[in-house]
Structure 1
Amino acid sequence: MRNILCYGDSNTWGCRPITQFGVNERYGPDVRWPGVMQAALGATYKVIEEGLNGRTTVFDDPIMGAHRNGKTYLAPCLETHMPLDLVIIMLGTNDMKPRFAGTAFDVACGAGALLSMVKNPVGGWVGDLPKTLLIAPPPIGKLTTLSGVLEGGHERSNKLAGEMERIADMLGSPFLDAGQHIQSSPADGVHLEAEDHLILGQVVAAKSQEILN
């Protein structure tokens, strides 16, 4: 059995595009991209969903809560699910919020800090160290019902994939630019339509097999 951890934000959790601000509805397990990935990989793989709405790479959120900091929860999460063969990280969209004032490079460095934690886990690790895959989320759309929360994010997020690829290369991690395959929903500019979950799940499944085989 190959164990794969998907560590992300609302797009890993499966949040539907928000047409009315503040309403977070969730796609079913078979629609969310980790579920699609599980179906594509089959019974010899176990795909573990660890998505949280509002999760950042390394920032405490003064509004949504410090527990949204992806760095704070990653270590216990890794130990909870070990042994792991592959850890997939897809974060960065929430880091684009103006209250964090992060550049694309800052966000990529935050993702790099998480990759480093996976490669150097604390505590008594069981099994071999997992391999990693860093995924750059698709750019934030221009037209969004979340524009007050993510104002200016479109321009900065367009630079994120390039910066993340550089960080992944420096740390010896495979990389995937989700924006080459899918786009954020025009409904809110942030979340994914069901068809994009389907595409992403299939793409990540193929990439995971490439990494693990």
Structure 2
Amino acid sequence: MKTVMCFGDSNTHGSPPMRDFGPNPRYGRDQRWPGVLAGLLGYGWHVVEEGLGGRTTLRDDPVEGAMRNGLRALPGLLHSHKPLDLVIVMLGTNDVKWSFGMSPYEIGRGADKLLRVIAASECGPGFGAPRMLLIAPPPVSEAGCLAEMYRGGAEKSRRLAAEFEAVARARGAGFLDAGGHAKVSPIDGVHWEAGEHASLAAAVAGKIGEMFGGE
């Protein structure tokens, strides 16, 4: 049995597009992309879902607090779910929020720090390092109720794929540009319709097949 942990934000958690700031539901396990991925990988794979709305690479959220900081959460999660054969990281969307003032380069450095933590964790099989897959999230648009929160973020988000690909190459990780397989909803410019989850899951399953071959 191989174990893969999907470490991400609200799109990994399965939040549908938001029309307002009221209570927000969650897609079912068979709709959100880690759950779809589990079905595609099938027997012999266990998929751990670790998605949290608002999660950043390494910044405390000034409104929602330190729990949104991916770097704070990651070490404990790695040890909680070890041994891990693969860790998938898809963060960066929340880092482009206006309040953080981060450049695409700085967001890439945040992703790099997460990969370094994973590589040094000894949470893979035999106390080795888990394999890693870094996913660049689809670019956001500035729309709907989240438009002000993401002011200026659309342009930044379009530059993340190049930054993340360079980071993945430097750290020996796999890379996938989710923007080639999923797009944000025009309702809020950040979250995805259910079909986009299925599309990304198929792409991730294909990438995992490349990384693990016939293992």
Q: Which amino acid aligns with 1:146?
A: L
Q: Which residue of 1 aligns with 2:44?
A: 44
Residue 144 of structure 1 deviates from its aligned partner by 3.3
Q: Which runs of 5+ in 1 are unaligned?
A: none
- CA shift in 2, pair 1:131/1:124, >3 Å: closer
Q: Which amino acid aligns with 2:86?
A: L
Contact kept? 2:142, 2:148, Cα under 8 Å: no
Residue 148 of structure 1 deviates from its aligned partner by 1.3
Deviations 1:143-167 (A, max 9, x none): 3320111111101101111111111
Find out whether 1:33 has 2:26 as its counterpart: no
Contact kept? 2:13, 2:50, Cα under 8 Å: yes
Q: Which amino acid aligns with 1:203?
A: A
Identity of aligned residues (%): 47
User: In structure 2, the residue corresponding to 1:40 is in which secondary structure?
Assistant: helix
Q: Which residue of 1 aligns with 2:102?
A: 102
Distance 1:145 1:62 in 2: 19
Contact kept? 1:144, 1:190, Cα under 8 Å: no
Q: What is the RMSD of the two structures over their aligned residues, measured on CA atoms?
A: 1.5
Distance 1:43 1:124 in 2: 20
Residue 56 of structure 1 deviates from its aligned partner by 0.2
Residue 21 of structure 1 deviates from its aligned partner by 2.5
Residue 204 of structure 1 deviates from its aligned partner by 0.5
Residue 125 of structure 1 deviates from its aligned partner by 8.1
User: In structure 1, the residue corresponding to 2:145 is in which secondary structure?
Assistant: coil
Residue 25 of structure 1 deviates from its aligned partner by 1.2
Distance 1:123 1:48 in 2: 14
Q: Which residue of 2 aligns with 1:4?
A: 4
Q: Which residue of 1 aligns with 2:20?
A: 20
Deviations 1:73-132 (A, max 9, x none): 100000000000000000000001111110111111101100110000168985432100
Contact kept? 1:104, 1:163, Cα under 8 Å: yes
Q: Which amino acid aligns with 1:166?
A: A
Contact kept? 2:145, 2:188, Cα under 8 Å: yes
Q: Which residue of 2 aligns with 1:186?
A: 186
User: In structure 1, the residue corresponding to 2:6 is in which secondary structure?
Assistant: strand
User: In structure 1, the residue corresponding to 2:197 is in which secondary structure?
Assistant: helix
Residue 206 of structure 1 deviates from its aligned partner by 1.3
Find out whether 1:205 has 2:205 as its counterpart: yes
Distance 1:174 1:15 in 2: 25
User: In structure 1, the residue corresponding to 2:50 is in which secondary structure?
Assistant: strand
User: In structure 2, the residue corresponding to 1:77 is in which secondary structure?
Assistant: helix
Q: TM-score with structure 2 length normalisation?
A: 0.95
Distance 2:170 2:136 in 1: 15
User: In structure 2, the residue corresponding to 1:7 is in which secondary structure?
Assistant: strand
Residue 23 of structure 1 deviates from its aligned partner by 3.2
**Which sits farther off after the overlay, 138-147 or 10-19?**
138-147
Find out whether 1:145 has 2:145 as its counterpart: yes
Q: Which runs of 5+ in 2 are unaligned?
A: none
Q: Which amino acid aligns with 2:118?
A: V
